[in-house]
Amino acid sequence: MTTKTLNDHINMTDGVVGGNQRISGHRITVQNIVIWHELIGISADEIAAEYDLTLADVYAALAYYYDHQEEIDKSIQDSNSFVDALKLKTLSKVSQKINAKKT
């Protein structure tokens, strides 16, 4: 009988999801799991069922997060800042139409 370890559940591969930590065999990142579970409040069971993962996969991602919390929190913050900056630079389709009607 083989015993799975955290390393069996979490991989990093250059060129796959930006080289970020992900669930082995999936393109779902540890950061995705953290956002869904910790920030949105989706249960581990729901995440596993929705994305065809095992509970061990989800909990391994959360364990990895707690071991690397500062790094992953910074990555989430950087992603949010990037999105906010893009929103400021790019007008929505509705705003574009309103501005076009004004001119």
Burial (CB count within 10 angstroms: exposed 0-12, middle 13-18, buried 19+), residue 97: exposed
Domain locations along the chain: 6-102
Helices (H) and strands (E) in the chain, counts: 6, 2
Quick one: pLDDT band at residue 2, thresholds 50, 70, 90?
A: very low
How does pLDDT run across 27-84, given as a tens digit for each residue?
999 999 999 999 999 999 999 999 999 999 999 999 999 999 999 999 889 888 877 7
> 3-7, 65-69, 78-82, 86-90: which range is least confident on average?
3-7
Domain 6-102 fold:
Arc Repressor Mutant, subunit A (1.10.10)
> The pTM is what?
0.76
